[in-house]
Amino acid sequence: MMEFSKNIFWEDKEMLEIEDVKVNYLVNPVGISGDIQIGWVLGSDKKNVVQTAYQVQIGKDLNFDHPVFDSGETSGDESAHVTVQGIDWESAVKYDVRVKACDNYGGESQWSTPSFFVSGLQTADEWTAEFVSAETPDDKDNSKGTYVRKTFDIKGKVKSAYVLSTALGLYHMFINGKRVSTDEFAPGWTSYNKRLLYQTYNVTECLKEGPNAVGAMLGAGWYKGVMGFKLFRNHYGIQTAFACQIMIRYEDGKSEVIASDGSWKGNDSPVLFSEIYDGEIYDAGKEIDGWDTAAFDDDSWREVNIVPVSRNILVAQNGCPVTEMTAIPAKRIFTTKQGDTVIDFGQNLTGWIHFKVKGKTGDKAELKCFEVLDSDGNVYLDNLRSAKETVVYICKDDREAEYHPYFSFQGFQYAVIASWPGTPELTDFTAWAVHSDMEETGTFVCSNPDLNQLQHNIKWGMKGNFLDIPTDCPQRDERLGWTGDSEIFCRTASYIMNTYTFYSKWLKDLEADQTPEGGVAHVVPDILTGKVDDWLLKDGTHSAAAWGDAAVINPWTLYLTYGDKAVIVNQYESMKAWIGFMQNHAVDGIWNYQLQFGDWVALDAEEGSYFGATPNDLTCTAYYAYSTGLFAKMAEVIENWEDAKKYGELYKEIVKGYQDHFFDKDGELTAQTQTAHIISLYFNLVPAEYREKTVQGLLGLLDKENGHLVTGFVGTPYFCHALSQNGHVKEAYDLLLKDDFPSWLYQVKKGATTIWEHWDGLKPDGTMWSPDMNSFNHYAYGAIGEWLYRVSAGIEIDEKNPGYKHSIIYPRIGGNLAFVDASFNSMYGPVAVKWSCIKSEVTLNVTVPHNTTADIILDQAVQVTDADGLIFSALENNMTAKAGSGKYSIRFIK
């Protein structure tokens, strides 16, 4: 084992430690393909710790004496994204990873406790499994569940076995009577005809010498079921099918692949009906005992059909499975005035209800899920549109059974008990939030309980709409990957949870569904193109400003948050194509195209309209400029100097065109809307000499509404930024803290537990916005979350040194808050800020992760009373210091 040279040898101190080793952002991932990226966190009791060198080794069977990869001693401070390339990985093999590092004190860590990853398939040719279906084309119009199964022999002692599995439709896989994973809604929703994910599971312990059985339950899901507001079905195919291959290595060195093929058998399952929108019907009387065990006689089962699928579309999942995440016990069961028996879970959520039921053969338990009660306290179903959200369980005998849907999810806080054998008890019902499994990275609490509830609602809006793809809403007959919603919320989401693998996957579908000209579908995966003639979408199903810009803004946000250039490289052509699309359709630098959503659902819309008052030309051209500017920066990051120059120049031209077109000769914006001012300011599109005028214009428009926002999807996320970045922190806090209609806290005061689609979803007079589009779990307006982290807590990214390698800690004291306590778990460890303020005395506790630095800026400081070893100097109206890693407790007077 090598020794590190002690290049900067200051003093021998306690141990430097390697913590939290991740591979491709995940802890011990199973089934990954593509480049391998290793990251870790440094642990040390010291301050100002900088890594000076590292060594990464990857070996098999914990054999690091002959590693498969050895970086050797590599000097430098890279600890988040060490990329391993050029290795011929074997498929479905466990590789062990260990890391050691040296720091600037001459400290040398021990090797980290080994982590691992399991490789996915390395070449498409290795995929030999066929897609087996218990359905025929005649089943195209039904949404029943099926089983497929097969027995096979294991002829020796198994050293390792991994199963690679996927489906057309949704599946649960079983080996020898047990489910092989807790993943739900696998294989996830992708642009199936172009990209189909497969999962990889370790099944070494599931197999035994002798006969074994493998099987799967299948459901229609997004693949074959009804999706989209026109309620079309069979978007990708007409038959569900399952494919798996178990890759076995025996102790004696031999290996074998057991793959699904035409010798499998199929049958109907007890799932009589299952649809994403409408719910599920399960007849326990149709259960087939032991169907997934080797002893089962499947002679009476039917032959399976083989569904042809190109192996070239198969892609390893690379993380982020959907699973049950949070349990919420039922809070109360009550009877409405209209006589319905209703369960209330006290939280609007996405997932399902686990219930226990005891009846007689044929008895039915039927629950209909919904979001809100009407103003009389009765069941309100209208905003679900056609979605039935109904779950039916038919008892097979008089024993207590437990059930939740297999292939359907519901958006709900309440459920009507439409049928129940006996008397339902509170303890019979537990709701489970089901969503993509992402590490929670952000925490935010402050002294204002309403703001804390808002944070809660933002987080639950996220939990409710990150079910494999970023959706608009989880309850009505929509639940689609609207690009605009995703773009707007991306930065907030990336504070709350680690979104890297989630968005990376979705961005590949966005790219896959781009038009040949680079246009970006309104929803990804795109199931609308060619299918709708709806009033809204008759003019087009792709390329709207703020929506299509997800192609650029989401990768940029991931780059900022994680400092990972790979996302730029991976999405480069997609981003460039989108800019090209806008350029092709711009006339004299002003971009507009077919259907635009504009400042969607803004309150300055005409009565009853969804389209806000800000003109489309302006919104489109503002986003055209913004995305082009970001793209030019990203080209620079990956050192594509030619593009950086070309798009940098294009950006300047667009900005000039915008200024010439949308500002009059007196420097007034031609569109007198809040949103026009907000995006002009936030996107930096205002001529310098008119900036103050524009800021005053915005304040005037705010005043006109008595301090309220009337902005929609486009203006809302940046409203507080446009104020706080231009010297109006107080006004930003005032806006944030408004609690009468319309405002963020109005919803809170109305008892919201998630974020609403409309400011006036529920109006002050108790009436509701029209049921044709009124979701109470729509995360878009939750985009205010990023202002709370970035400005109120002051945990800000330095664009020049992203991923929190260098942070800018600049909390803005205000809003009458006595304290704010927030943290973000970065690639280097937690960045944390806690400030508290009594009159003019401020205490600020800051944690800067090791191997990173920060500028700490003390808001309005006139005197630092305790600098905790830092050296502060004056900076405009503040004081600032450069800090290395460590924990600081600073006091100052403002």
Report if residue 462 touches ligand BGC, rule: CB under 6 A: no
**CA–CA–CA angle 434, 437, 441 (5° rounding):** 120
CB of 494 to ligand BGC, least distance (A): 19
Q: Whole-angstrom Cα distance, residue 283 to residue 266?
A: 18
Side by side, the strands of the sheet bearing 36-43 are 17-23, 36-43, 82-84
Q: Which of the following is catalytic: 135, 487, 511, 757? A: 757
Report if residue 478 touches ligand BGC, rule: CB under 6 A: yes
Q: Which listed range, 19-27, 481-489, 567-575, 583-591, lies at the site for ligand BGC (CB under 6 A)?
A: 481-489
Of 746, 711, 857, 748, the closest CA to residue 794 belongs to 857
Looking at 472, 509, 796, 798, which residue binds ligand BGC (CB under 6 A)? Answer: 472
CB of 510 to ligand BGC, least distance (A): 14
Binding mask 599-628 for ligand BGC (x = CB under 6 A): -x----------------------------
Exposed, middle or buried, 36 (CB in 10 Å: 0-12/13-18/19+)? buried
Report if residue 173 touches ligand BGC, rule: CB under 6 A: no
The residues in 256-285 that bind ligand BGC, with binding defined as CB under 6 A, are none
CB of 782 to ligand BGC, least distance (A): 12
The residues in 768-807 that bind ligand BGC, with binding defined as CB under 6 A, are 773, 778
In 621-700, which ranges are E strands?
A: none
DSSP 52-100: EEEEEEEEBTTB-SS-SEE--SEES---S-EEE-S--PPTT-EEEEEEE
614: which 2 tokens?
A: 């800000």
Q: Whole-angstrom Cα distance, residue 720 to residue 725?
A: 8
CB of 482 to ligand BGC, least distance (A): 4
Q: Which amino acid appears at position 730 of this protein?
A: K
Nearest 5°: phi and psi at 766? 90, -10
Neighbours of 60 (CB within 10 A): 15
Looking at 163, 473, 722, 755, which residue binds ligand BGC (CB under 6 A)? Answer: 473
Of 586, 581, 572, the closest CA to residue 644 belongs to 572
CB of 178 to ligand BGC, least distance (A): 39
Q: Which is nearer to ligand BGC, 289 or 535 (CB)?
A: 535
Q: Which of the following is catalytic: 108, 184, 478, 487? A: 478
CB of 597 to ligand BGC, least distance (A): 4
Q: Whole-angstrom Cα distance, residue 506 to residue 495?
A: 18
Q: Which is nearer to ligand BGC, 523 or 655 (CB)?
A: 523
Count of residues near ligand BGC by CB under 6 A: 10
Check if 757 is active-site. Answer: yes
Q: Which listed range, 373-381, 480-488, 510-518, 736-744, lies at the site for ligand BGC (CB under 6 A)?
A: 480-488
Helix (H, G, I), strand (E, B) or coil at 366: strand
Residues 6+ apart with CB under 8 A from 811: 791, 792, 793, 794, 820, 833, 835, 844, 859
Report if residue 301 touches ligand BGC, rule: CB under 6 A: no
Report if residue 756 touches ligand BGC, rule: CB under 6 A: no
Q: Which listed range, 327-335, 407-415, 471-479, 736-744, lies at the site for ligand BGC (CB under 6 A)?
A: 471-479
Looking at 352, 380, 597, 781, which residue binds ligand BGC (CB under 6 A)? Answer: 597
Length of the chain measured in residues: 894
Q: Which listed range, 80-88, 482-490, 694-702, 883-891, lies at the site for ligand BGC (CB under 6 A)?
A: 482-490
Nearest 5°: phi and psi at 867? -90, -5
Q: Which listed range, 374-382, 478-486, 714-722, 788-796, lies at the site for ligand BGC (CB under 6 A)?
A: 478-486
Sign of dihedral through CA atoms 347, 353, 355, 361?
Answer: positive
Cis peptide before 525 (omega within 30 of 0): yes
CB of 525 to ligand BGC, least distance (A): 15
Q: Which listed range, 258-266, 479-487, 670-678, 704-712, lies at the site for ligand BGC (CB under 6 A)?
A: 479-487
The residues in 483-502 that bind ligand BGC, with binding defined as CB under 6 A, are 484-485
CB of 388 to ligand BGC, least distance (A): 19
Task: Provide the binding-site residues for ligand BGC, judged by CB under 6 A.
Answer: 472-473, 478, 482, 484-485, 597, 600, 773, 778
Active site residues: 478, 757
